[in-house]
Amino acid sequence: MPVRFLKNASELADVSWESPLPVAVTNAKPVPADTLLIATTNLFPTGERDLLGSTGAPELPTLDACGQYRKLIWFYFREGAADTTYTILARVTDHNGAPLGAGWLTIASGTLPGGANSWNRLEIPDTGDAYYDQYRILVNRTGGSGYYLISKIVGVR
Amino acid sequence: MPKVCLITSNLTRFNKVWTQVLRHLGIDYTLCVATSGGVGATIQTPQGGLAANSTDLRNYFRLFDAVILCDHALTLSETAVINYSVYWLSWNAPEDPPFLFFNPHFSTAITESAYNSNFPSDFPIVRPNPSDLAGTLYAADGGSPSAFTPLFTGAAAARGACVLFLAENIRAHVMTVCNAHGASRTANVVPYYWRLNPTQHSTLANTNYTHRVARNGRAGEILAVPAPPTNPEDTETYPSDCVVAYRYRNIFWLPHTIRSFFDTMNLHSWYTLGNWTPMLFWLLYGLQLAGVRPRYRLPVQMETDHPIESGANTPPFNFSYRQQMEALLAKHDYMREFARRTGTAIIHGVRVGGRHRTTSASFHWQMMYGTGVPADARAVAQQINQLLVAGHREGTTPCGVHDHTAGNFQGGYWLGDVRAGFRRHSGMRYGAPANVPISRGRCCVAPHVLPAGVAPPNALTVQVGDAEMVEWDHTMSGTGDTFDLPLGNIHAARIVIESEIEEMLALGFPDGHCAGHKYTNTAANASGGECYWQALKEFGFRGVRSASACNEPHRTKRVVSNRLWHGFHLITDAGFDLAHPSAGYSRGLYYPDSPSEGDGVRHWQLDHGNDISANWTTSAVAAWRAYRRVVCQGIGNWLFTTAVVLGGFYIHLGTQLMIISLSDPNARFNGWSVQNVIGHPHYNHAVELLENMDAVVRLLSDVLYWGTITDVMDHRERVLEG
């Protein structure tokens, strides 16, 4: 005896792979956003580094598998006001996660906004949509005293 | 579910390891913020802001199984860190919860009169005086300063301690810093133990006291002291009034555990090693003392890479191949017995590839069958293999593939774009003479938009994760066994993995994925990309050990932060060898003529104030100091791996092969009384790590158990968001 259910309000259908039982999704996230990264970056040393502290591996992404995200929101709290630059690099990958080519596309760069003990927010990209698979997010303290930069990045689908 | 209250006055620097560990243990928590470190602080609770000395706060705390103070000082000169907690030292009724103080700041530098007047007059530990350190504290671990601060010790630069836990009567090597002080907050800081007031303690120890955490029914109890030496060589002794952990009524006075630092541990790689918290033992012990019984215990397990491997038979050790194999055989015999005794399973990553792709004598197959290896050594290697196969079948030594020949250079999956001259196996589905695809060819990754007639009838459908691809016009292998193999595709992954499994079967193992654990530790922790994970799933694997930069040193990719890919586990790697790979092999705990990072002290930055290197040949205690620091670092890193990142702690047996005594390879460390072949202290890394961790597991029986990698993956699925 097949199990049947009312489909599309009027059609009586057998349960099958093609017409599964309807379900109500519970515990669904109320917003289409995921926390992708929480990291503390030591900016006491100078020199360009990614948010995870990587300095010697220019091909290494800070974030991977981000292809589903329309936009990334970078929240950060900077403990110091020292001049700091940021560079956001992005690229896409093939089905094995391999970049389509070497190097990166620079999608944003500039001076990191905010003073000492300030909260800040940057959208990646600032206009349009993203959908890149990988990002390498670089910061570089170019003057002043060292400090810690505390970041949280949220991906929005 | 048990529930604890965490208190901090600095939310910015609140270390997320506190909550991560509690979540993994299944302990609920409420985080309350103190508005300052002073006595006048208000404690912000879900019931509102409550004065630190209020009855309302006291009643609020009674809702919890324990209250934990999370803040610590960096120097004893500070005046207000947790001063507000002074009132709680007198909340000792049976209804009050236990309070856990870690590295508490109670120095005489505190000037607030309300603190000093409310500090219990019968408290039995001498308050540290930064102007009279020698009169109020005992310098620990040789008394040398750490170049930085011992409170911020991460995955390196440990301080050593052997602690005697009195009630349990167990000696354990756990990193122990009760307080720390230096001229600067973060440079040249010395670790200290506490000084007891024997008269006050005697009174408390003879005073009846009723509370659920007072296991001896007395108001005062010494919980732990520096363990007395077991060998006269070890002259690092402490007076009888030196303590490292104390229970004052329902107040637990415990060493440092988690540093104040803003970080989370959801994404792990070598870049965050400085943020590890290897003094985690004291939090786990404190929870157990307080009777906070976790919903989940954490499985402890260890892995090795290269169960059969040989190193250089050159100076200073000159071990022959046979001697190396005999030493390895003794180690494996011990580890199998250890696993039987404790119920754990010690995973081994068999260095495959030697059957088809290399003749190097350091590979498993070549040590057993290579003509470059003397017959007597090969015979012992074959004994080891038989022992491993038997252990694999009985569940004590599960073995899996570990291929340093798949990619280029040091190997691992997908290291390099093309593996020149790749030699595959014969038979099975992807071996010679089967003519199989070796690269992607032309493809369409969205078949629903592929126009009819473009793909030929013999096109293949390939699934990688969520992506379904139609492929055609592949580059084919031909019928031969050797070709240049493009590595970044699922066809290459299938050929590579099947060839590894074929070698395991030829070695006598029934599978290549650690039997029912369906796991292995990847070579160089390079797990490749999605195509390799997909192929591993196809061959029955549930997970592999993987670096965050999972194709390192190709370094174009990272694993996702929760380390789950379509239900496939990418277990965090945590290696603890006594030498950097660049040094070839370890020269022991310390060896004066070692190359850079060629011994444990150099590799793990343990020569604080040169108090090992300057004394090695003149003072026997230096060897004991090196031993304590190495073991404390290892156990600390292992505990962190177990409790925070739920990862895979591993060593290379061969790397530590040379430094043991050939006549008694499994002997415990005993300073210069047991020596290796070059007359330096014998040290068996596997024995010392396992036996010392066993002491910790026995101490923390409410929190830890000897488990398996399956238990780790099960627990990850239990506590991590998918």
User: What is the tens place of the pLDDT at every residue in B535-550?
Assistant: 999 999 999 999 988 9
Q: Please give the average per-residue pLDDT across A14-35, as a whole number.
A: 74
Which chain B residues have any C-beta within 8 angstroms of a chain A C-beta? 12, 16, 261-264, 266-267, 269, 271-272, 274-275, 414, 440, 445, 464, 467, 469, 488-490, 528-532, 549, 553-561
If you measure CA to CA, which chain B residue comes closest to A100?
Answer: B556
The answer to whether residue A28 scores a pLDDT higher than 80 is no
Q: Is A16 exposed, middle or buried (0-12, 13-18, 19+ CB in 10 A)?
A: exposed
Q: Which residues contact A105 (CB under 8 A, 6 or more apart)?
A: A89, A90, A91, A132
Shortest distance, CA A116 to any CA of chain B (angstroms): 14
Shortest distance, CA B9 to any CA of chain A (angstroms): 16
Q: Cβ contact (<8 Å) for A54 and B12? A: no
Residue among A39, A59, A96 whose CB faces B555 most closely? A59
Q: What is the pLDDT of residue B590?
A: 97
- Collect all residues of chain A within an 8 Å Cβ-Cβ radius of residue B554: 59
**What is the SS3 assignment for B192?**
strand
Shortest distance, CA B89 to any CA of chain A (angstroms): 34
Shortest distance, CA B460 to any CA of chain A (angstroms): 15
Q: Which amino acid makes up residue A68? A: Q
Residue among A38, A40, A95 whose CB faces B530 most closely? A95
- Collect all residues of chain A within an 8 Å Cβ-Cβ radius of residue B263: 38-40
Q: Cβ contact (<8 Å) for A150 and B262? A: yes
If you measure CA to CA, which chain B residue comes closest to A59?
Answer: B556
If you measure CA to CA, which chain B residue comes closest to A134?
Answer: B557
Q: What is the pLDDT of residue A25?
A: 63
Confidence of residue A13 (pLDDT cuts 50, 70, 90): confident
The neighbouring-strand residues paired with B253 are B101, B246
- Collect all residues of chain A within an 8 Å Cβ-Cβ radius of residue B267: 37-39, 52
Q: What is the pLDDT of residue B194?
A: 98
- Collect all residues of chain B within an 8 Å Cβ-Cβ radius of residue A28: none
Q: Is B24 exposed, middle or buried (0-12, 13-18, 19+ CB in 10 A)?
A: buried
Shortest distance, CA B184 to any CA of chain A (angstroms): 17
Shortest distance, CA A94 to any CA of chain B (angstroms): 9
Shortest distance, CA B486 to any CA of chain A (angstroms): 12
Q: What is the pLDDT of residue B265?
A: 52
- Cα–Cα distances in Å, from B308 out to A105, B354, B455? 45, 12, 48
Confidence of residue B329 (pLDDT cuts 50, 70, 90): very high
Confidence of residue A75 (pLDDT cuts 50, 70, 90): very high
If you measure CA to CA, which chain B residue comes closest to A77?
Answer: B12
Shortest distance, CA A4 to any CA of chain B (angstroms): 29
The answer to whether residue B212 scores a pLDDT higher than 70 is yes
User: What is the tens place of the pLDDT at every residue in A107-148?
Assistant: 999 999 999 999 999 999 999 999 999 999 999 999 999 999
Q: What is the CATH number of domain A29-156?
A: 2.60.120.680
Q: Cβ contact (<8 Å) for A64 and B266? A: no
- Collect all residues of chain B within an 8 Å Cβ-Cβ radius of residue A79: 12
| Chain A interface mutation, best of B548, B561, B570, B721, highest count of A Cβ atoms under 10 Å | B561
Residue among B531, B558, B559 whose CB faces A95 most closely? B531
8 Å CB contact between B59 and B23? no
Q: What is the pLDDT of residue A27?
A: 62
Rounded to 5°, angle at Cα B541 from B540 and B545: 170
Q: What is the pLDDT of residue A1?
A: 65
8 Å CB contact between B631 and B692? yes
Q: What is the pLDDT of residue B440?
A: 87
The neighbouring-strand residues paired with B528 are none
d(CA B165, CA B691): 16
Residue among A39, A79, A95 whose CB faces B445 most closely? A95
The answer to whether residue B278 scores a pLDDT higher than 50 is yes
| Chain B interface mutation, best of A35, A40, A60, A89, highest count of B Cβ atoms under 10 Å | A60
The answer to whether residue B576 scores a pLDDT higher than 90 is yes
Token pair of A77, please?
């709290």
Q: What is the pLDDT of residue B269?
A: 43
Q: Which amino acid makes up residue B51? A: A
Q: Which amino acid makes up residue B596? A: S
Residue among A39, A98, A148 whose CB faces B556 most closely? A98
Length of chain B: 722
Q: Cβ contact (<8 Å) for B267 and A52? A: yes
8 Å CB contact between B483 and B405? no
Q: What is the pLDDT of residue B267?
A: 45
Q: Cβ contact (<8 Å) for A96 and B531? A: yes
Token pair of B237, please?
């002794």
Q: Is the dihedral of CA B405, B406, B411, B412 positive or negative?
A: negative
The answer to whether residue B720 scores a pLDDT higher than 90 is no
Q: What is the pLDDT of residue A24?
A: 66
Rounded to 5°, angle at Cα A76 from A75 and A80: 160
Share above pLDDT 70 across residues of chain B, in percent, rounded to a whole number: 98
Shortest distance, CA B556 to any CA of chain A (angstroms): 5
Q: Cβ contact (<8 Å) for B488 and A63? A: no
The answer to whether residue B268 scores a pLDDT higher than 50 is no
- Collect all residues of chain B within an 8 Å Cβ-Cβ radius of residue A53: 271-272
Q: Please give the average per-residue pLDDT across B89-117, as a whole number.
A: 98
d(CA B603, CA B69): 34
- Collect all residues of chain B within an 8 Å Cβ-Cβ radius of residue A65: 560
Q: Please give the average per-residue pLDDT across B618-641, as a whole number.
A: 97
Q: Please give the average per-residue pLDDT across B468-496, as a whole number.
A: 95
**What is the SS3 assignment for B648?**
strand
> Which of B85-94, B388-397, B399-408 shows the lowest per-residue confidence on average (mean pLDDT)?
B399-408
Confidence of residue B11 (pLDDT cuts 50, 70, 90): confident
Confidence of residue B270 (pLDDT cuts 50, 70, 90): very low
H or E, element range at B126: none
The answer to whether residue B264 scores a pLDDT higher than 60 is no
- Collect all residues of chain A within an 8 Å Cβ-Cβ radius of residue B469: 95
The answer to whether residue A20 scores a pLDDT higher than 60 is yes
Token pair of B244, please?
């490292």
Shortest distance, CA A130 to any CA of chain B (angstroms): 18
pTM of the model: 0.92
- Collect all residues of chain A within an 8 Å Cβ-Cβ radius of residue B266: 38
User: What count of CB pairs under 8 Å joins A to B?
Assistant: 80
| Chain A interface mutation, best of B440, B463, B489, B557, highest count of A Cβ atoms under 10 Å | B557
Q: Cβ contact (<8 Å) for A39 and B263? A: yes
Share above pLDDT 90 across residues of chain B, in percent, rounded to a whole number: 86
Q: Cβ contact (<8 Å) for A36 and B561? A: yes
Which chain A residues have any C-beta within 8 angstroms of a chain B C-beta? 36-40, 42, 52-54, 57, 59-65, 77, 79, 93-99, 134, 148, 150
Q: Please give the average per-residue pLDDT across B556-583, as a whole number.
A: 91
Q: How many CB atoms are closer than 10 A to CB A97?
A: 28
If you measure CA to CA, which chain A residue comes closest to B463?
Answer: A95
Q: Please give the average per-residue pLDDT across A28-45, as a whole number.
A: 82
Q: Cβ contact (<8 Å) for B556 and A40? A: no
- Collect all residues of chain A within an 8 Å Cβ-Cβ radius of residue B489: 96
d(CA B579, CA B661): 18
Q: Please give the average per-residue pLDDT across A20-40, as a whole number.
A: 75
8 Å CB contact between A71 and A41? no
